[in-house]
Amino acid sequence: MEDNQFDAIIIGGGLAGLAAAWTLADRGKEVLLLEKGDYCGAKNVTGGRLYVEPLKGFFDDLWDKAPLERSIAREEICLVAPTKSLTVSYTDDSLSSIPGQSYSVCRAKLDRFFAKQVERKGAVIATKTRVDSLVIENGAVIGITAGGDTLYAKTVICCDGVLSLFPQQAGLRGPLKPKHSAIGVKEIIELDPQLINERFGVSDEQGAARLFMGDITCGRFGGGFLYTNKESISLGLVLGIEAFSQEGIEISVPEALDRFKERPEVLPLIAGGEPVEYSAHVVLEGSYNQLSKLYGNGILVAGDAAGFSLNAGITVRGMEYAVMSGYFAALAVEKALEKNDFGAESLSVYETLLADSFVLKDSKEHQNVAASLDHDRFFSFYPSFVCDLMHDLYKVNGPKKRIYPTLRKHLTAGVMKDILFKDFGKVKKL
Amino acid sequence: MSDVLSLKGNVKSKLGLNVFKESSEFHIEIKTDKTNDKRLFACVRLCPAELYSADEQGCVVLSTDGCLECGTCLIICGDEVLSWNYPQGATGVQYRFG
């Protein structure tokens, strides 16, 4: 063993890595965090929204001081058919109260701020440093190489994001499959804060989140999102990689985003704005079944790299799991340091800690949701069905049918049969 | 309606909004005998930066300038077809918002 050995080397300065570094440095441990970007957050993309509520009580007053954007006070869903749409807008007193349960965020700002706090705790962060490989000896991870240098550590925490290259090198997981992943593409559109307030009916501190499903993804698995930031709008699409690769879809990903921006449900909201950034990243659409092995000899995996994400249909989450898995990985390292044993069995306490927390509880609860959501009828049939029904309910052109006969006209025996036999089994798992 | 659509259909200009730092290496390369692998043709339509294109010989060519490092091509193709790594430290896309 080398003398210049860190207690932990953390690969990746995203939320998982920063949370792990903060926690270990707070406990006086020797931590080195390596980040390939110019600064932490430089390579990270979110939709995005962070649910702060589950993180309260951790990381001192970090969340009070963090550069969060707007507290989401209005939750909206828009079902999109080719020429129609139905938007549901929900709010209540608790969503409108500040501090709220969730905030829109921009990762370059949030992660950079978090990194400063981590450095104040005493961790060393080396930015502009790409890790090239793990150093594995006798089946145990003992360090990393970066730019020709080899650095040694008692433990390595892989927080290298969704592509999870290092956990793959360590044999903890296989490559991510198209079926379990999606492409997220996003534009940041700068817009006068006063216009944002007026268009979304919110105050300066408050914001709105709107999810879109239906025709915008060509009726396939995926959706659109819009989050209001302080002085900009995050607008984007998430497209299932397998679903969008299929024959029958002619348009490209950039074309799909352009088409989305032109929709009458979107364009008036962003009009007058100025695009200032175009980003993309693979997103996990996985479930409990797609989680990697979370630890091995000398190695722990946290955040997206470990497969922690949740698409529960109307709540789409990942960052809270990154933060908390980083935190628990750090606690596991702390316990391993007490025992001076960094083998897989010693580090297995990580999984125990996760299992007792919302991280693995949520994964287990929702383990079949992603597979059930991947059902084209949810993205093609239902948005059109609901919009066609609304059309007839609102249409006035001569003799008008009552509501109930109009409903019956749409809910035919054939439709009811399909709902029961094609969809209900899926719906039960949502 | 407004300038918010002015970059429509122009991915190059959209990429021009971002901060990129040049690298001396190609961080993604198509493996030599795989340039007509059908998975690469999916990348032509799915790459958000439109970096993959099919040439007249029916082969797919890749330019990594403007790569958003999203990983879509790696997921589609796997390491049989691509050698894929992030760009060296301090190079590639540097998001200001993310």
CATH number of A179-284: 3.30.9.90
Check CB contact under 8 Å for A275 and B48: no
pLDDT at A168: 95
Check CB contact under 8 Å for A244 and B46: yes
Closest-approach residue (CA) in chain A for B43: A245
3-state DSSP assignment of residue B14: helix
Closest-approach residue (CA) in chain B for A186: B98
Closest-approach residue (CA) in chain A for B98: A45
- Measured in angstroms, the CA of B87 and the nearest CA of chain A are apart by 8
Q: By percentage, how much of chain A surpasses pLDDT 70? A: 98
- Measured in angstroms, the CA of A242 and the nearest CA of chain B are apart by 8
Q: Look at A374 and A395; give whichever has higher pLDDT.
A: A395
Mean pLDDT on A91-99? 93
Q: How do the domains of chain A map onto residue ranges?
A: 2-69+105-173+292-356, 179-284, 372-427
Is A2-69+105-173+292-356 in CATH node 1.10.3720.10? Answer: no
pLDDT tens string A42-85: 999 999 999 999 999 999 999 999 999 999 999 999 999 999 99
Mean pLDDT on A253-280? 97
Mean pLDDT on A148-176? 95
In which band, very low, low, confident or very high, does the pLDDT at A367 lie, cut at 50, 70 and 90? confident
Residue A2 pLDDT greater than 90, yes or no: no
Q: Which residues of A touch B79 (CB under 8 A)?
A: 175
pLDDT at A291: 73
pLDDT tens string A185-197: 999 999 999 999 9
Mean pLDDT on A8-31? 98
Domains A2-69+105-173+292-356 and A179-284 share a fold: no
Q: In sequence order, what are the residues at sequence separation of 6 or more whose Cβ sits closer than 8 angstroms to the Cβ of residue A395? A: none
pLDDT at A204: 94
Which member of B49, B94, B98 has the closest CB to residue A107? B98
pLDDT at A44: 97
B38 and chain A: CB distance < 8 Å anywhere? Answer: no
Q: How far is CA A52 from CA A231, A320, A419, B83, in A?
A: 20, 7, 37, 38
Closest-approach residue (CA) in chain B for A239: B46
Mean pLDDT on A244-260? 95
pLDDT tens string A216-228: 999 999 999 999 9
Q: Which residues of A touch B14 (CB under 8 A)?
A: 187, 254, 275, 278
ipTM value for the complex? 0.97
Residue B78 pLDDT greater than 60, yes or no: yes
Residue among A168, A141, A179 nearest A157 (CA): A141
Domains of chain B: 17-94 (3.30.70)
Q: Look at B27 and A2; give whichever has higher pLDDT.
A: B27
Closest-approach residue (CA) in chain B for A174: B78
- Measured in angstroms, the CA of B2 and the nearest CA of chain A are apart by 5
Region class of A242: left (phi > 0), else alpha (psi between -120 and 50), else beta: alpha
Share the mean pLDDT of chain A.
95
Q: What DSSP state is assigned to residue B90?
A: T
pLDDT at A309: 87
Q: How far is CA A291 from CA A10, A73, A148, A167, in A?
A: 20, 32, 32, 11
Residue A3 pLDDT greater than 80, yes or no: no
Which member of A44, A146, A241 has the closest CB to residue B98? A44
CA B34/CA B36 separation, integer angstroms: 6
Closest-approach residue (CA) in chain B for A35: B89
Mean pLDDT on A341-351? 98
pTM of the predicted model over 0.80: yes
In which band, very low, low, confident or very high, does the pLDDT at A369 lie, cut at 50, 70 and 90? confident
Residue A1 pLDDT greater than 50, yes or no: no
B90 and chain A: CB distance < 8 Å anywhere? Answer: yes
pLDDT tens string A118-140: 999 999 999 999 999 999 999 99
Mean pLDDT on B62-87? 97
Residue A96 pLDDT greater than 90, yes or no: yes
Q: Select the residue from A44, A279, A304 to test the B interface by mutation, using most B Cβ atoms within 10 A.
A: A279
CB A3 within 8 A of CB A25: no
Q: Which residues of B touch A258 (CB under 8 A)?
A: 5, 8-9
What is the interface size between A and B, counted as CB pairs within 8 Å?
Answer: 168
Mean pLDDT on A376-403? 95
Q: Select the residue from A49, A107, A112, A130 to test the B interface by mutation, using most B Cβ atoms within 10 A.
A: A130
Amino acid at A390: M
Residue B1 pLDDT greater than 80, yes or no: no
